[in-house]
Chains A and B, each alone.
Chain A
């Protein structure tokens, strides 16, 4: 299947290449298509095709309970809509993504501004703040479970008895804070790269005009950070809609389903053998991500050009 998709798309270039080399456009000779072909085939075969199949299986009764797969129409969607999980999962995931992106970017930007100068001290602490990125998200989740458990380290330091991971309202916020903590180092690096890209004479000119640090930041540095912001906000927002490990390790979707994001639901329902129902949720995730990503990227790009 993957093969045919690709072959039809590539045919003109491939059959054209070996014929008359002299008459071809130079690009075709100097940068031949077959360098790109393996990547396109693998990507199409193991990323695009599953996503296309995901428009079919949610409408079947595929499960571990019977051998055949039959068409079932909208049954799966009706099930998740009727028991309320659909709306709740959308709401939880969007809220999670929004807060996680906010925390990750906020922490990252503050760290980048604090560690901006290229001193030995700063280089060391950049590595320190990057450490959480290197620790797996699952491990991060367990670390914070040990910290925030009712019998955990934070309560023992505070001498308190707060059920940090037991609130149906606040636990979600706490988990997104952990998410922001885990990924802040990456945002920091990208903001640092953005800060480094600002020409020195521009800052010099601002200083000559009498702008203080505050004014320089808002009028010169912040607008120049637009590409870094675009990249960071997009990857953080979209990436955190795909979250799984941190939530699974800290709350497992609880308390009372209040942190059950899309992937936690899929994991749980797939484990029960209800494959089609899980893939229905997967299709909803796909559609929600597209609905968020397209306006987001377009909007942020336009903002970059305006600034």
Chain B
């Protein structure tokens, strides 16, 4: 067989093998374990459940894990954070991409420094206490927004620089003011990169436990990941993998849904924002 024929058939075969081993096996483990009774799930394996009970597992995860409250808390924190990151980021990126001066470059450099620098999580707690925002949702939203603004500003600035200025100028000649140009021309053009930034920020904020632990703690306002942590840490005497994985499935579904909806735009946004 010639190398090109081998490559033509070997490549899909290799892809299938890798996908099965690397993604299929872990996914299978999660799904079957989440449908097993506790006695079968204590030692996790890849066998099908002898006794299927997905319903009662998911019920327990919702009940014991206080999943609904966690879901609501997550939404109340993540959605406003994403909206703020996008709106504030787009406004800033527009100015940073279009204006040329030393002050603008300095402000841009400062604003994307968050891509590299680690957030000072301990002193954030101190600052929030002084502002009376410790343990509150606005406090958490402020922390996420501050942390992820850099990502959206970086992606959006790169993208806006690739949009020809003539589009804006045409509208300006027709007498449009900056705010109108921003809303009617720049924002609609930003759609692909907004999709990218949305999924990135959502991903980070939706699955974050580290910062949520410091800012919100484990109480009333605990988000989904904190709930999962609690369920998993509760396994003092007996493993409850069946509940952990039921939790994992429910927690992951919203992100998978968001990705499926925005998939195409995400790829084009990454193409034009990060790699140029």
B51 at the interface (CB under 8 A from A): no
Distance A253 CA – B229 CA, assembled complex (angstroms): 15
* Interface segment out of the listed B53-61, B64-72, B202-210: B202-210
Is B210 a contact of A245 with CB atoms below 8 Å? yes
* Interface segment out of the listed A166-174, A200-208, A279-287: A279-287
Distance A33 CA – B96 CA, assembled complex (angstroms): 9
| Contact residues on A (Cβ < 8 Å of other chain), bracket | 35 or more
Which residues of A are found within 8 Å of B123, using beta-carbon distances?
Answer: 50-51, 53-54, 57, 279, 282
- Chain B residues proximal to chain A, CB less than 8 Å: 11-12, 14-15, 18-19, 22-23, 25-27, 29-30, 33, 42-46, 84, 88-89, 91-92, 94-96, 98-101, 103, 107, 110-111, 114-127, 142-143, 145-147, 149-150, 153, 168, 172, 178, 181-182, 203, 206-207, 209-210, 213-214, 225, 228-229, 232, 241, 244-245, 248, 251-252, 255-256, 259-260, 263, 266-267, 270-271, 274-276
Which residues of A are found within 8 Å of B89, using beta-carbon distances?
Answer: 39
Min C-beta distance of A151 to chain B, whole Å: 4
Is A134 a contact of B120 with CB atoms below 8 Å? no
Distance A111 CA – B18 CA, assembled complex (angstroms): 9
Distance A53 CA – B111 CA, assembled complex (angstroms): 18
Distance A227 CA – B276 CA, assembled complex (angstroms): 6
Is A289 a contact of B228 with CB atoms below 8 Å? no
Distance A109 CA – B232 CA, assembled complex (angstroms): 34
Which residues of A are found within 8 Å of B210, using beta-carbon distances?
Answer: 244-245, 263, 267
Known: A129-B19, A146-B244. 14 other contacts (CB 8 A): A12-B103, A31-B94, A40-B111, A53-B126, A57-B126, A134-B259, A143-B248, A156-B43, A181-B22, A231-B274, A242-B118, A266-B122, A279-B120, A286-B120
A42 at the interface (CB under 8 A from B): yes
Is B120 a contact of A190 with CB atoms below 8 Å? no
Chain A residue nearest to B249 (CB atoms) is A139
Distance A111 CA – B110 CA, assembled complex (angstroms): 34
Min C-beta distance of B120 to chain A, whole Å: 4
Which residues of B are found within 8 Å of A297, using beta-carbon distances?
Answer: 116
Is B92 a contact of A40 with CB atoms below 8 Å? yes
A222 at the interface (CB under 8 A from B): no
Distance A132 CA – B172 CA, assembled complex (angstroms): 45
28 of the cross-chain contacts (CB-CB < 8 Å) are: A9-B107, A30-B181, A31-B94, A36-B96, A40-B92, A42-B142, A50-B119, A50-B127, A51-B120, A114-B18, A128-B19, A128-B23, A136-B225, A143-B248, A146-B241, A149-B44, A151-B42, A152-B44, A157-B45, A197-B275, A234-B116, A244-B209, A245-B210, A266-B121, A267-B210, A275-B126, A279-B120, A293-B117
Distance A133 CA – B137 CA, assembled complex (angstroms): 26
Min C-beta distance of B21 to chain A, whole Å: 11
Min C-beta distance of B169 to chain A, whole Å: 9
Is A138 a contact of B45 with CB atoms below 8 Å? no
Interface residues of A in 122-136 (CB under 8 A from B): 122, 125, 127-136
Distance A126 CA – B40 CA, assembled complex (angstroms): 34
Give the 9 A-B CB pairs with smallest separation, nearest first: A136-B207, A46-B146, A39-B92, A54-B120, A279-B122, A35-B91, A39-B88, A193-B271, A53-B123
Contact of A36 among B26, B91, B256 (CB under 8 A): B91
Is B122 a contact of A142 with CB atoms below 8 Å? no
Distance A28 CA – B100 CA, assembled complex (angstroms): 10
State the main secondary structure of chain A at its contact with B: helix
Is A153 a contact of B94 with CB atoms below 8 Å? no
Contact string, A34-66, partner B, CB cutoff 8 A, digits 1/0? Answer: 011011101111111111011001000010000
Which residues of B are found within 8 Å of A244, using beta-carbon distances?
Answer: 209-210
Is B103 a contact of A13 with CB atoms below 8 Å? yes
Is B30 a contact of A143 with CB atoms below 8 Å? yes
Which residues of A are found within 8 Å of B232, using beta-carbon distances?
Answer: 142, 249
Is B274 a contact of A267 with CB atoms below 8 Å? no
Chain A residue nearest to B88 (CB atoms) is A39
Which residues of B are found within 8 Å of A31, using beta-carbon distances?
Answer: 94-95, 98-99, 178
Chain B residue nearest to A192 (CB atoms) is B267
A94 at the interface (CB under 8 A from B): no
Is B15 a contact of A39 with CB atoms below 8 Å? no
Which residues of A are found within 8 Å of B260, using beta-carbon distances?
Answer: 127
Min C-beta distance of A246 to chain B, whole Å: 11
Known: A13-B103, A190-B270, A279-B120. A33 touches B95 (CB 8 A): yes
Min C-beta distance of B172 to chain A, whole Å: 7
Known: A13-B103, A31-B178. A275 touches B252 (CB 8 A): no
Which residues of B are found within 8 Å of A114, using beta-carbon distances?
Answer: 11, 14-15, 18
Chain B residue nearest to A293 (CB atoms) is B116
Interface residues of A in 207-221 (CB under 8 A from B): none
Is B146 a contact of A45 with CB atoms below 8 Å? yes
Is B270 a contact of A133 with CB atoms below 8 Å? no
Which residues of B are found within 8 Å of A39, using beta-carbon distances?
Answer: 88-89, 91-92, 111, 149, 153
Which residues of B are found within 8 Å of A289, using beta-carbon distances?
Answer: 116-118
Is B88 a contact of A38 with CB atoms below 8 Å? yes
Contact of A193 among B111, B114, B203, B274 (CB under 8 A): B274
Is A136 a contact of B252 with CB atoms below 8 Å? yes
Is A193 a contact of B267 with CB atoms below 8 Å? yes
Distance A270 CA – B149 CA, assembled complex (angstroms): 26
Contact of A32 among B84, B88, B178 (CB under 8 A): B178
Which residues of A are found within 8 Å of B111, using beta-carbon distances?
Answer: 39-40, 43
